[in-house]
């Protein structure tokens, strides 16, 4: 099983690789690996302003703007809780090389308490200054939206082992029931994780999409985040859906952490 960063799910070396590739990630280009984490495979280019809450992080992950000063991402994308000024967030554009892009440094990271590589795959990154003029992405607080068809987006690879993308890609993926997903992933944690993808494969998140949001429309037709790109077996392989952090499970903990960070 592989994280949709660049390393295996439980690899103790993933932080070293993340550090070595951080500079390339900032430019939106990362080398591929044979069994990489997810980017959007089978996707199409997003329109400018379509998903204003999308964030690209310099360690090679994605994220979503939870509040003007906080980015929600995956725990496996960060090294731990504490002061951290090494991460650059790029926002406000689909083209990472656009002169209109907004870049903000981090000043603190909060990683889910008890995270050990199995479940609890969420983290908050506090930005040094708040971002104005961009919509945030509310998170699901109940399981009401944890089914149906979801949207995923990211700057990750467009094929397994491929290069990171300059332009934001998007795709839709259907919910996969826990019992079905467990057939593909016996180590799935149903209370912490939610699966989405096609039996035939072909559409998925991929390497470099880790930490990005999986979202859908709520009852008011507004976007709501239901998942965080976490891990999977390769990218878009048949019978291997993507595995996402089930945001509703951690909504209270995320809100509490956000409050403690002043966000």
Segment 38-47 mean pLDDT: 82
Pull the structure tokens for residue 124. Answer: 């908050």
The answer to the question of residue 60 being in a domain is no
Contact between 117 and 9 under an 8 Å Cβ cutoff? The reply is yes
What are phi and psi for residue 36, nearest 5 degrees?
A: -95, 165
Q: Provide the residue range defining the domain that includes 220.
A: 143-248
Q: Any idea what the CATH number is for the domain that residue 237 is in?
A: 2.40.10.10
- Choose, from 58, 67, 76, 230, the residue flagged as catalytic: 76
The closest of 255, 254, 259, 262 to 111, measured between CA atoms, is 254
The answer to the question of residue 208 being in a domain is yes
The answer to the question of residue 45 being in a domain is no
Number of domains in the chain: 1
CA distances from 67 to 7, 133, 225 (A): 29, 11, 13
The answer to the question of residue 263 being in a domain is no
Cα first-last separation, the chain: 33
Pull the structure tokens for residue 123. Answer: 């983290």
The answer to the question of residue 234 being in a domain is yes
Distance of CA 122 to the CA centre of its chain: 9
178 part of the active site: no
The closest of 170, 156, 152, 150 to 43, measured between CA atoms, is 170
Segment 133-157 mean pLDDT: 97
The answer to the question of residue 7 being in a domain is no
Greater model confidence, 193 or 40: 193
86 part of the active site: no
CA atoms within 13 A on the CB side of 213: 27
Given pLDDT bands bounded at 50, 70 and 90, which one contains residue 40? Answer: confident
- Choose, from 58, 67, 184, 210, the residue flagged as catalytic: 210
Given pLDDT bands bounded at 50, 70 and 90, which one contains residue 263? Answer: confident
- Per residue in 16-37, pLDDT tens? 333 333 333 333 333 333 223 3
Q: pTM, whole model, 2 decimals? A: 0.87
- Residue 68's pLDDT is what? 98
76 part of the active site: yes
Pull the structure tokens for residue 154. Answer: 């990211």
The count of residues in the chain is: 263
The answer to the question of residue 123 being in a domain is no
- Per residue in 233-259, pLDDT tens? 999 999 999 999 999 999 999 999 999
Given pLDDT bands bounded at 50, 70 and 90, which one contains residue 169? Answer: very high
- Choose, from 58, 67, 106, 121, the residue flagged as catalytic: 121
The answer to the question of residue 170 being in a domain is yes
């Amino acid at each position: 099983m592989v994280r949709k960063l660049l390393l295996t799910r439980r690899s103790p070396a993933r932080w070293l690789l993340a550090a070595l590739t951080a500079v390339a990630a900032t430019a939106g280009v990362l080398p591929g690996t044979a069994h990489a984490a997810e980017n959007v495979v089978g996707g199409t280019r997003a329109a400018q302003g379509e998903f204003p809450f999308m964030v690209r992080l310099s360690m090679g992950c994605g994220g979503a703007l939870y509040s003007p000063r906080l980015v929600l991402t995956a725990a496996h994308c960060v090294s731990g809780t504490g002061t951290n000024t090494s991460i650059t967030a790029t926002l406000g554009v689909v083209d990472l090389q656009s002169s209109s892009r907004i870049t903000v440094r981090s000043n603190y990271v909060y990683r889910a308490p008890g995270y050990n590589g199995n479940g609890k795959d969420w983290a908050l990154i506090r930005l040094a200054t708040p971002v104005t003029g961009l919509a945030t992405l509310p998170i699901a607080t109940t399981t009401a939206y944890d089914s149906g068809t979801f949207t995923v987006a990211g700057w990750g690879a467009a094929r397994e082992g491929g290069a990171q993308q300059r332009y934001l890609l998007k795709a839709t993926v259907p919910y996969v029931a826990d019992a079905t997903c467990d057939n593909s992933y016996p180590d799935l944690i149903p209370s912490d994780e939610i699966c989405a993808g096609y039996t035939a494969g072909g559409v998925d998140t991929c390497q470099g999409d880790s930490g990005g949001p999986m979202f859908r429309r709520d009852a008011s037709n507004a976007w709501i985040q239901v998942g965080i790109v976490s891990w999977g077996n390769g990218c878009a392989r048949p019978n291997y859906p993507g595995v996402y952090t089930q945001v509703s499970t951690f909504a209270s903990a995320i809100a509490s952490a956000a409050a403690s960070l002043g966000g």
